Amino acid sequence: MVSLARKNLLEDIPRFLVAQAGIMFAVSLVTLQTGIFNGFTRSTGQLIHNADADIWVASESQVQIELTLPLPLSHVLQARQVAGVELAEALIFSGAMWRRSESEIGLVKVVGFDPNGQLFTPMNLKKGSVRALTEPYTAIIDQTTLDSLDVKGVGEVANVNSIPTRVVGLTQGNRAIVSNPFLFTSLKSANVYITSGQKSDLSCQLPSGSQELVCTNTSIRPSQDGAPIPPPPVPDKLVASDLITYILIKAKPGEDLQALKKKLEAALPNTRAYTRKEFILKNQDYWQQRTGVGFILGLGAVVGIIVGVIIVGQILYSSVSDHLKEFGTLKAMGASDWTVYGVIVEQAIWMAVTGYIPSVALCYGVATWAYFTEGILILITPVSAIAVFGITIAMCVGSAIFAIQKVTRLDPAMVFKA
């Protein structure tokens, strides 16, 4: 029966190739949509994956990682006094304006951390060193954002909230689909960026004898003639009253994280503590449940399955129609209905396998290209690949039902008709 199924498929190569193209389209659509959804879900917690913290302490008003209220630095000092805490470090996460030229501006997410600390380090550092961030007004960015930030590489200078900043390093893959480009810098530099961003860069005045208000931008811009830019004053060390965004906690070995969370919340007013896993899930739930992103990506996958069922169903139905006499002969020879149905199902399985393998290879290629060129993570895991294979088998076998209906009403006597 297997040979007959294979013969029916390969008898008309053009039709077979059309069927495979349809299956490849459907499988690729489902695989990429699920991969984008998985990558999107993971990227919402991209910042969390850069940290080696057991617990994250945030404001009790925190909604998701980019939507929260600040905390005073004094909370870090208090957290270090809590029993069971081995390390406590501050993290600043806030938006800022990026200006590479006088005519264009952009937005970045400033990530301020202690370059000499142990709980946060930018992942996949390709060029430069984290230690270089100890120099004031230096930053590390992701190499996939070079074009969007209009930067060529290490050594380039741009303004961050009117502060000239030099790029000293590049990472790979530190980009969230739902966020602006990350700008990794020291706590001291980040504090200056944030406070300077709260000040206006516009100076306006009404010249005598004129009715038009004249405004000029007073921000410091990169030198146009290549001359060295005089750096702003060295940033001061943060004090207890300065504002941060999160507190990263490293628990002592063997410490109960749930018990430590309660102690931290009791010691630090107006805060909530989350384990690493809880914090990731909180962010994922926000984007999946409180936004329409999950619905849209899921809808695309469903459309892919529907398209695949229709295409494969049509191909199988046409193939059965062209081979009715052969199936009638089998039934006239005493073959059971299940034997005939097995041939059709066998065809569907062959179509699923031969369509799935090149589709997955193509999707892995697209995912690799997207990651290294755009920094967009299309996450195709072994589990999701197996799940898509199961969906492909079900899709093709399910579509075989349409073809089986044709054989169900088949009269073996048709073989003897002229």
Looking at residue 222, its pLDDT comes to 46
Any idea what the Cα angle at residue 279 is, between residues 274 and 284, rounded to 5°?
155
Residue-range definition of the domain harbouring residue 124: 61-269
| 284 part of a folded domain | no
Q: What is the pLDDT of residues 99-118, one digit of tens each?
A: 876 667 788 889 999 888 88
pLDDT cut 70: percent of the chain above it? 78
Indicate whether 86 and 32 sit together in one domain: no
The answer on 241 and 135 residing in a single domain is: yes
Residue type, 296: I
Distance CA 274, CA 253 (A): 18
Which of 206, 237, 269 terminates a domain? The answer is: 269
Residues 262 and 299 in one domain: no
**Residues 306 and 404 reside in one and the same domain:** yes
**Ordered alpha helix ranges (H), 290-381:** 293-322, 324-332, 337-374
Residues 245 and 319 in one domain: no
Mean pLDDT of the 131-144 span: 88
Are residues 316 and 398 located together in one domain of the fold? yes
| Helices (H) then strands (E): counts for the chain | 11, 14
Three-class SS state of 336? coil
| Structural domain count of the chain | 2
Under 8 Å between Cβ of 315 and 18: yes
Query: Of 325, 352, 350, whose CA–CA distance to 340 is shortest?
Result: 325
Answer yes or no: is 97 within a domain.
yes
Final residue belonging to a domain, choices 209, 237, 269: 269
How much is the pLDDT for 248?
92
Q: In this structure, is residue 365 part of a structural domain?
A: yes
Residues 320 and 361 in one domain: yes
Statement to judge: residues 265 and 322 lie in one domain: no
- Domain assignment present for 147: yes
Residue 287 in domain: no
Residue 306 and residue 264 share a domain: no
* Least confident interval from 53-62, 109-118, 141-150, 359-368: 141-150
Q: Give the model's pLDDT for residue 367.
A: 87
Nearest to 389 by CA among 346, 345, 359: 359
Residues 6 or more apart whose Cβ sits within 8 Å of residue 174 = 46, 50, 122, 123, 124, 142, 182, 184, 375
Q: Which of 98-112, 290-304, 402-416 has the lowest mean pLDDT?
A: 402-416
Query: 260 CB contacts (<8 Å, ≥6 apart)?
Result: 54, 55, 82, 84, 85, 249, 251, 273
pLDDT in tens, 249-277: 998 888 888 899 998 888 888 889 999 88
395: in domain: yes
254 and 336 housed in the same domain: no
- Note whether 108 and 37 are same-domain residues: no
Residue 286 lies in a domain: no
Average pLDDT on 287-314 reads 74
Of 381, 360, 411, nearest to 37 by C-alpha is: 381
Per the domain annotation, does 280 fall within a domain?
Answer: no
Same domain, 20 and 121: no
